[in-house]
């Protein structure tokens, strides 16, 4: 994670924008906004790592900007430092109450601005790294089971509220032990990566999620997708793997692998639980294996 971070500076005075960007340019890439509205737009669009926010501004003031940022899920996580001429304790208290991570008074000292932005950028970097470690499967780069279950719980609640269907798909590679025994674990790992990419490429909607569920098992979540949509995705995934060439892995004996897939669609209500839906998909997968593998069942 050596890529440069981004700081968004929101201030209605051009001189302040210039001075601050001169100071901070070495630490990060700088984005400028000359009004609250513009700042909110750029924050949502560019998702900077840190925001420096003036309070007294023409039009929308910094406190209002902060409130808007915190109410938008896309920007609520971005750390914000107020940088303002309002120096009384109750102003500072208000800033922190609204969710600021720091408060710097104008006229500011360069060294203090630098030290504090550096600290918050570093915290941000560490947080991103922890989130990756907690949510991403290191081998395949897709979501892990922990992440899947978290998203499933959230989508389950949404589906209950909207009375919409949710589909779950469980995939298991056929005879993968044999593949490993034949070509070694490293070759098996490469196959797992290719399979993960293939599934990710086959999902179309932004809320669809594929995760590595365990060893050679994958799980797909299709929010707002009915049984017919689920069957289509299952068949698309099955065919994608069956047709996926493995020639580049230097295995002349086995050029293709196959998967078995179990699917389950339901309309979540107060009596049903996400874990039960996973179990239903798993039962379907088990039957697909028993019926001869390389097939889908729902």
Residues recognised as catalytic: 216
Q: What, of ligand GH3, Mg ion, none, does residue 289 touch, CB below 5 to 8 Å by kind?
A: ligand GH3
Q: In sequence order, what DSSP letters do the residues of 92-125 get, joined into one string?
A: HHHHHHTT-SEEEESSPPHHHHHHHHHHHHHHHH
Q: Convert residues 244-283 into a mask of x (bound to ligand GH3 by CB under 6 A) and - (unbound).
A: ----------------------------------------
Conformational region of residue 9, where left means phi above 0, alpha means psi within -120 to 50, and beta covers everything else: beta
Residues in region 174-213 near ligand GH3 by CB under 6 A: 174-178, 180, 185, 188-189, 192
Distance CA 287, CA 297 (A): 8
Question: Which residues 6+ apart lie within 8 Å of 121 measured at CB?
Answer: 5, 7, 27, 28, 49, 50
Q: Convert residues 53-72 into a mask of x (bound to Mg ion by CB under 5 A) and - (unbound).
A: -x-xx---------------
Among 85, 215, 256, 290, binds ligand GH3 (CB under 6 A): 215
Part of the chain binding Mg ion (CB under 5 A), chosen from 12-20, 94-102, 120-128, 190-198: 12-20
Distance CA 234, CA 244 (A): 15
* Cβ nearer to Mg ion, comparing 21 with 128: 21
Residues in region 175-204 near Mg ion by CB under 5 A: 176
What are the backbone angles phi and psi of residue 265, rounded to the nearest 5°?
Answer: -120, 135
Distance CA 264, CA 284 (A): 8
Q: What, of ligand GH3, Mg ion, none, does residue 56 touch, CB below 5 to 8 Å by kind?
A: Mg ion
């Amino acid at each position: 994670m050596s890529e440069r971070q981004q700081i968004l500076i929101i201030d209605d005075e051009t001189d302040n924008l210039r001075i601050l960007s001169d100071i901070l340019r070495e630490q990060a890439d700088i984005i400028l906004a000359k009004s609250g509205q513009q700042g909110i737009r750029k924050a949502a669009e560019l998702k900077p790592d840190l925001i420096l926010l003036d309070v007294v501004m023409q039009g929308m003031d910094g406190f209002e900007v902060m409130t808007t940022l915190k109410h938008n899920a896309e920007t609520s996580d971005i750390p914000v430092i107020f940088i303002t001429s309002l120096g009384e304790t109750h102003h500072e208290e208000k800033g922190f109450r609204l969710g600021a991570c720091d408060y710097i008074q104008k006229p500011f000292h360069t060294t203090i601005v630098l030290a504090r932005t550096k600290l918050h950028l570093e915290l941000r970097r560490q947080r991103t790294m922890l989130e990756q470690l907690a949510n991403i499967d290191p081998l395949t780069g897709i979501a892990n089971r922990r992440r899947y279950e978290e998203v499933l719980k959230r989508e389950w609640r949404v589906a209950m509220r909207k009375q919409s269907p949710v589909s779950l798909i469980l995939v298991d590679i056929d005879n993968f032990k044999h593949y490993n025994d034949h070509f070694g674990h490293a070759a098996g790992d490469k196959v797992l990566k290719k399979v993960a990419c293939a599934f990710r490429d086959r999902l179309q909607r932004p809320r669809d999620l594929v995760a590595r569920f365990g060893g050679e098992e994958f799980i797909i979540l299709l929010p707002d997708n009915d049984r017919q949509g689920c069957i289509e995705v299952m068949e698309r995934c099955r065919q994608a793997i069956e047709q996926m060439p493995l020639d580049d892995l230097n295995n002349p004996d086995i050029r293709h692998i196959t998967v078995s897939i179990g699917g389950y669609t339901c309309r979540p209500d107060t009596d049903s639980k996400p874990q039960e839906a996973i179990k239903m998909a798993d039962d379907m997968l088990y039957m697909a294996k028993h019926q001869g593998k390389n097939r889908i069942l729902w």
